[in-house]
Structure 1
Amino acid sequence: MPQLNTSTWFIIITTTLPTLYLITQLKLLSMYYYQPPQQKNSHKQTPNNHWQLKWTKIYLPYSRPQ
């Protein structure tokens, strides 16, 4: 009965462990984690448009009384 050759086991085990570690690290780096929600700024800047200062009412043609 032939004996089991275990001379290469040490090399195989020592190379597979760092390889598995690197693969898991690369997988974790490629995952997208959601960022926690940020607080909104209470001072919202609005653009200075001249039409925002006026009160306007738009009458559509079909909404006028006949």
Structure 2
Amino acid sequence: MPQLDTSTWFITILSMITTLFILFQIKISMHLFPMSLQQPQQMLIKQKTPWEKKWTKIYSPFLSHQL
């Protein structure tokens, strides 16, 4: 029965990890990140919705049948 030769495993795993690290570094470096971490403040204008324009009252059907 032949023996499994594991003498090259260390260099193979080490080179694989190194290659993955370099590839991830290149991939991350291609992204554009903002210079400032603070987001610009925008003026928030509240839009009125149709149901805010008029007052409505909601009646529960269960409340109308009480004695």
TM-score (norm 2): 0.46
Flag the structure with larger Rg: 1
Indicate the structure with greater helix content.
Answer: 1
TM-score (norm 1): 0.47
